[in-house]
Amino acid sequence: MSALAAPSAPDLASAAFLLMVGAYTAGALGALTAGSSALARSVTAAGALLGAAAGLVLALAVLIAGAPFALTVPDLLSPGGGLALRLDALGAFFLLLIAVGGLPSALYGVGYTAGYAGRYSLRWLGAMLNLFLLTMSLVVLADNVLTFLLTWEAMSLTSYFLVMTEHDRDDTAAAGGWYLAMTHAGLAFILTAFVMLIPPGPTSTFAELRSTAATLAPAARSVVFTLAALGFGAKAGLVPLHVWLPRAHPAAPSHVSALMSGVMVKLGVYGVLRFALDLLGEGPAWWGGLLIALGAASALLGVLYALMEDDLKRLLAYSTVENVGLVFIGVGAGLLFASLDQEASAVLALAAALYHALNHAAFKSLLFLGAGAVVHATGTRNLNRLGGLVRTMPWTAACFLVGALAIGGLPPLNGFVSEWLLLQSLLPAIASAAPLVPPLVTLAVGAVALTAGLAAAGFVKAFGIAFLALPRSPGAAAAHEATTSMRVAMAALAVLCALFGVGAVVIVQRLAALLGGYDGLTGRPAPLAEGLSLALPGAFGGMSPPLVALGLAVAVAGVWVAVRLAGGRGLRRGDTWGCGRIGQTARMEYTSTAYAEPLRRVFAELYRPTEDLTVDVHPESRYFVQSIAYRSEIVPWFERYLYAPLVRRVGAWADWTRAIQSGSAHGYLAYLMIALLVLLAIALARSG
């Protein structure tokens, strides 16, 4: 790397960067060449842990010093402008996010992938995991179009290979196909957005894009914004581009699902923020409105389908759609306020969005790792076949409970604080004088609140059915606790969920500060806190996460001590009340499907479930039932009305092109000849 030019970059940041790239690369190469699969697992984890830790140092160095880190390699791929890397505050935040998901997932992988030995290639998996982490880190560092597109596509491909790990399962190939198709559809939009901004000339750094954007007509800038929102929205999982999530996330190994769901989808948010805040600059109010509407639709539909899901990992994937929707509501509100020149509110909304993204990285990674431990121990993801795991897997149960409470938005954990902040940041918009904004935001508030309530219900179902009561299958009854590395990874994330909640005052102020300088925000935001409380300027309320946590802890301890002191008689174990019937079995318990039944009826117009009930009676008398078979299925309407016709149409086109594919070499030679002649004719016509 002779052409290394790192002007004014602090030494610590440079060293951390080189270590990050070196560790991920060494981890990938080491895993590929490892002699045994046990060694491959260790090398994979070592490279990923070291790389993610170095990335964390790099991110913190940039965030704390406040000075961007830059590095260019002009000789490499020079026709495209060379590689250009630059880490500013926005990128550094997302690099931090990668470490939050990456470190525990890498550690977890040591124990989790042990079961893969002999079935799947651990060398390939380890190499792809390291490369996936590397390319994600480089995406947020990219400073020109070539670097961004190369690393973005490499990230998509490595994650595709990771999804395909369990390639012999039936649904994996279909999941991979959907993922590949959706991510490349997104890429097409992103590519077009970039092409509209690229200036003439060989290089296309983001700085040049910024100046081109300033000269574009308003309509053209809006087109670029819409394309970027669609392209990155496909990666983030915005409705209706989210269809790959509930397929790809369950198919991938669980620590990869954690990375994809907790971290990679956030890079879609990063892309939108990079375009909207940085490259394009301030836009019309409807940009924000569009994102709020898309976000509200994603949040609501995501949680509604998550509720109906019986597959634990699919439930989590739909819940990611929901949370990404919440993040986009915050982003949209921020853009809206910025275009209305309400800076304090804009900073607050964007900080709420980033804070929720960070929190989601923590609790969604935790929940996917927990789900992985469940799958590992019981061999099934079907909630209706789980149950009773709280006794056999107490550690996993406790960690999963923390994650479920956090994602359900319950105090004092982090999800509660960011949802509170998001609601507060929307309040000033209701009071806004701009037309159409108050009704839109009022509906968004209703959607956020309904989402929060339904998410709480959904995760009571997920935790309650999977971990409580009696096991519903032999597999669940024979469950065992996760290995040490898996437990440590989950416990670390559970602690983070609590810390991110209690430390909200510090975190939110930091996030508000890092937004300075983007999108015409001055960088000197009003202080968002007073002592231990979040006290919001421009918004309406205040609260203190540490004091709420303290109050709850004191109250629980106080009540416990008081009840202890009051004495009272002992505790006896007895049967569960079954109306006099003794001998309780798991068949008497509520199932996942039954738990969601009331809400399924309430939202029947949306779900339109197909139901199939077969009752088999005794030939002698119809009063003796021999068996009952019940089958019900919900096909999401956007799949039925949007994607199914699309897939049919594409299939028809593919069939049509078969006509020219004769299989004869002569035919193909003829096509080549004809194409050449046509091109020559065009060239002649243009030069003449």
Cα separation, 47 vs 27, whole angstroms:
4
Smallest gap, in angstroms, from Cβ of residue 419 to another protein? 8
Q: Which is nearer to another protein, 1 or 579 (CB)?
A: 579
Q: Which of residues 369-388 bind another protein (CB under 8 A)?
A: 387-388
Cα separation, 507 vs 502, whole angstroms:
10
Interface with another protein: number of residues (CB under 8 A)? 84
By CB under 8 A, the residues from 386 to 445 that bind another protein are 387-388, 390-391, 401, 405, 408-411, 416, 420, 423-424, 427, 430-431, 438-439, 442, 445
Contact between 599 and another protein by CB under 8 A: the answer reads: yes
Q: Closest by alpha carbon to 548, among 367, 417, 359?
A: 417
Q: Is 456 in the site for another protein (CB under 8 A)?
A: yes
Contact between 520 and another protein per CB under 8 A: no
Whether 155 contacts 232, CB under 8 Å:
no
Pick the binder of another protein from 566, 613, 652, 685 (CB under 8 A).
Answer: 566
How does 223-232 read in b/e, with b if 16+ C-beta sit within 10 Å? Answer: ebbebbbbbb
Q: Does 560 bind another protein (CB under 8 A)?
A: yes
Rule CB under 8 A: choose which of 588, 675, 680, 683 binds another protein. Answer: 588
Using CB under 8 A, pick the residue from 465, 489, 511, 512 that binds another protein.
465
Beta bridge partners of 614: 629
Closer CB to another protein, residue 569 or residue 622?
569
Helices 218-236 and 285-308 sit at what angle, rounded to 10 degrees?
A: 20
For position 503 contacting another protein by CB under 8 A, the verdict is no
Q: Which is nearer to another protein, 478 or 559 (CB)?
A: 559
Determine the interface stretch with another protein among 61-69, 252-260, 459-467, 509-517 (rule: CB under 8 A): 459-467
**Residue 209 or 423 with smaller CB distance to another protein:** 423
Cα 165 to Cα 123, 168, 178, 247, 381, distances in angstroms: 11, 9, 15, 14, 17
Asked if 217 interacts with another protein (CB under 8 A), we say no
Q: Report the nearest approach of another protein to the CB of residue 76 (Å).
A: 52
State whether residue 24 is helix, strand or coil: helix
Q: Cβ(162)–Cβ(256) under 8 Å?
A: yes
Q: Does the footprint of another protein cover residue 454 (CB under 8 A)?
A: yes
Q: Which is nearer to another protein, 602 or 673 (CB)?
A: 602
62 binds another protein (CB under 8 A): no
What CA dihedral angle connects 197, 281, 269 and 502, to 10 degrees?
160
Residue 542 as a binder of another protein (CB under 8 A): the answer is yes
Site for another protein contains 187 (CB under 8 A): no
Q: How far apart are CA 347 and CA 527, in angstroms?
A: 11
Give yes or no for residue 596 binding another protein (CB under 8 A): yes
Q: Interface with another protein includes 446 (CB under 8 A)?
A: yes
Which token pair is 481? 């606790």
Alpha carbon distance 146, 143 (integer Å): 9
Binds another protein (CB under 8 A): choice among 540, 637, 641, 668: 540
What sign does the CA torsion over 572, 578, 580, 585 have? Answer: negative
**Least distance from another protein to the Cβ atom of residue 423, Å:** 6
Binding segment for another protein among 153-161, 258-266, 562-570, 660-668 (CB under 8 A)?
562-570
Q: Contact, 556 vs 442, CB < 8 A?
A: no
- Contact, 283 vs 339, CB < 8 A? yes
